[in-house]
């Protein structure tokens, strides 16, 4: 009998897993289940669609024929409600049951709403969150028709919303809780480069702010945000990007270990329950580079995790238990922003660490590295990305280089000098 692999989620993690399973096992039964109404599309590019810059077509990655050609059963508009880990079955909203030998959970997250923080009118008409292509369609239309915007959430998705307003010519106030944008990864000096770029596009950053409540008009449409200082910002459209809650509800009655960061896995992307694996944004995995549990919220790492999990699913099944030689997920992630005249890249884990170093090189060039236990664990490059592969290599090699900050902050890092100062461990 052929092996049966079921994958929940047709994002990049689930889809890359399906592709890898087919490559590794031409005879396997593969089912991919998604609650979205469309097959894999490029989530990174939906912001360009919302800006009005890209038509729909290039955003789609897989047409339904892609699955047919590979004999992969794709179930669209299907929400998984429960998993029976004793019977190796999953159940859907429509009452269908799928048996699995191996199950991959690649369900990602759902944008958090300010309603969960008790903010009045947080789900009023004209307030958008940003995760799916459907969200992008709504944002595009609402931003095109709005007179004044409000943006909440000083992170990587919030700045996408700011850039969409900029591209569509909608003036907006960007309400941030701290003294600068993405304050956990940047310092005010680096963030100011982004603030200035936002201002040039008609988006005004407002610091030490946020939202205490939204006000609506008589039709229930958002009309203003009032911040904790009592300042009122008018707006007939608001975009909120304050983080994700991970899609694990259907596992709540199972022994699969989950927490606020997602599904707990080892470095092979196995969960604590036999036959169940996880990949992509949903994982809280053992990061072999950090030597501790970590998360990654980026396209490249989700794709790689899907592929690694799939190889282990196939091999574990072939061997009738855990293979002795599993694939390990070991990866330095990158996330770039291309909204402005200068490039921006964050890599690794720039928001953690016990030490850091930063340097400004020009009005649009800045660098910060985050260190933990003397090793680089992440960083942000603004304006000049030419040194990224050196820093990623130092992360992968787990080099203790924090005592050589002056070398690491040189515009062109001299790796020979660094090698002399901090030789690679044998």
- Pairing of the two strands 365-372 and 355-362: antiparallel
Cβ neighbours around 208 below 10 Å, total: 12
Q: Supply 103's token pair.
A: 């199950």
By CB under 6 A, tell whether 160 contacts ligand FAD.
yes
Nearest approach in angstroms of CB 299 to ligand FAD is 4
Q: What string marks each residue from 84 to 113 as x (binds ligand FAD by CB under 6 A) or -? A: ----------------------xxx-----
**Are 111 and 14 spatial neighbours (Cβ–Cβ below 8 Å)?**
no
By CB under 6 A, tell whether 79 contacts ligand FAD.
yes
Q: Supply 215's token pair.
A: 């006000």
- Pairing of the two strands 102-105 and 4-8: parallel
Nearest approach in angstroms of CB 163 to ligand FAD is 10
Output the DSSP codes for 145-181: H-SSEEEE--SHHHHHHHHHHHHHT--EEEE-SSSST
Q: Which is nearer to ligand FAD, 122 or 157 (CB)?
A: 157
By CB under 6 A, tell whether 281 contacts ligand FAD.
yes
Nearest approach in angstroms of CB 68 to ligand FAD is 19
Nearest approach in angstroms of CB 266 to ligand FAD is 18
Q: Which is nearer to ligand FAD, 116 or 134 (CB)?
A: 134
By CB under 6 A, tell whether 130 contacts ligand FAD.
yes
Give the 3-state secondary structure of residue 357: strand
Q: Which is nearer to ligand FAD, 34 or 121 (CB)?
A: 34
Q: How far apart are CA 4 and CA 400, in angstroms?
A: 45
By CB under 6 A, tell whether 47 contacts ligand FAD.
yes
Q: Supply 91's token pair.
A: 């159940």
Q: Which is nearer to ligand FAD, 128 or 160 (CB)?
A: 160
Instruction: Compute the half-sphere exposure of residue 231: CA atoms within 13 Å on the CB side of its CA.
Output: 14
Rounded to 5 degrees, φ, ψ at 408 are -70, -20
**Are 309 and 160 spatial neighbours (Cβ–Cβ below 8 Å)?**
no
By CB under 6 A, tell whether 143 contacts ligand FAD.
no
By CB under 6 A, tell whether 74 contacts ligand FAD.
no
By CB under 6 A, tell whether 8 contacts ligand FAD.
yes
CA distances from 253 to 103, 248, 256 (A): 16, 10, 9
Q: Which of 41, 237, 335, 340 binds ligand FAD (CB under 6 A)?
A: 335
Nearest approach in angstroms of CB 352 to ligand FAD is 18
**Are 144 and 168 spatial neighbours (Cβ–Cβ below 8 Å)?**
yes
Q: Which is nearer to ligand FAD, 250 or 342 (CB)?
A: 250
Nearest approach in angstroms of CB 38 to ligand FAD is 9
Angle between helices 299-319 and 12-24 (to 10 degrees): 40
By CB under 6 A, tell whether 36 contacts ligand FAD.
yes
Scanning 3-11, 188-196, 211-219, 259-267 for contacts with ligand FAD by CB under 6 A, the matching segment is 3-11
The residue ranges that bind ligand FAD (CB under 6 A) are 8-14, 33-36, 43-44, 46-47, 79-80, 106-108, 130-131, 157, 160, 247, 250, 280-282, 297-300, 302, 335-336
């Amino acid at each position: 009998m052929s092996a049966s692999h079921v994958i929940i989620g047709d994002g990049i993690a689930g889809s890359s897993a399906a592709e890898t399973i087919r490559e590794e096992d031409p005879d396997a039964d593969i089912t991919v289940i998604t609650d979205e109404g469309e097959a894999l599309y490029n989530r990174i590019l939906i912001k360009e669609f919302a800006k009005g810059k890209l038509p729909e077509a290039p955003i789609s990655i897989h047409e339904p024929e892609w699955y047919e050609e590979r004999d992969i059963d794709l179930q669209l508009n299907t929400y998984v409600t429960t998993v029976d880990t004793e019977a190796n079955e999953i159940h859907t909203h429509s009452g269908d049951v799928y048996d699995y030998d191996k199950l991959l959970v690649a369900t990602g997250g759902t944008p958090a709403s300010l309603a969960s923080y008790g903010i009045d009118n947080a789900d009023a008409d004209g307030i958008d969150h940003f995760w799916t292509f459907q969200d992008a369609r709504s944002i595009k239309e609402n931003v095109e028709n709005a007179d004044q915007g409000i943006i909440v959430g000083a992170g990587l998705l919030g700045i996408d919303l700011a850039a969409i307003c900029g591209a569509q010519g909608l003036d907006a106030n960007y309400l941030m809780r701290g003294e600068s944008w993405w304050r956990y990864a940047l310092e005010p000096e680096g963030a100011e480069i982004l603030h200035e770029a936002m201002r040039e596009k008609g988006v005004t950053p407002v610091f030490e702010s946020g939202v205490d409540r939204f006000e609506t008009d008589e039709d229930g449409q958002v009309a203003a945000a009032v911040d904790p200082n009592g300042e009122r910002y008018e707006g007939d459209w608001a975009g909120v990007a304050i983080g994700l809650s991970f899609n694990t509800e259907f596992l709540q009655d199972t022994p699969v270990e989950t927490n606020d960061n997602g599904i707990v896995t080892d470095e092979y992307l196995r969960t604590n329950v036999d036959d169940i694996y996880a990949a992509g944004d949903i994982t809280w995995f053992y990061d072999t580079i950090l030597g501790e549990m970590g998360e990654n919220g980026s396209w490249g790492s989700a794709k790689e995790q899907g592929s690694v999990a799939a190889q282990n699913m196939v091999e574990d099944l072939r061997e009738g238990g855990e293979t002795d030689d599993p694939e390990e997920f070991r990866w330095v992630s990158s996330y770039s922003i291309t909204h402005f005249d200068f490039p921006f890249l964050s890599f690794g884990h720039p928001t953690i660490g016990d030490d850091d170093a930063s340097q400004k090189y020009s009005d649009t060039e800045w660098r910060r590295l985050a260190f933990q236990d003397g090793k680089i664990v992440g960083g942000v490059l603004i304006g000049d990305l030419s040194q990224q592969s050196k820093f990623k290599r130092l992360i992968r090699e787990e080099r203790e280089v924090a005592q050589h900050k002056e070398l690491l902050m040189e515009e062109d890092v001299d790796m020979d000098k660094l090698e002399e100062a901090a030789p690679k461990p044998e």
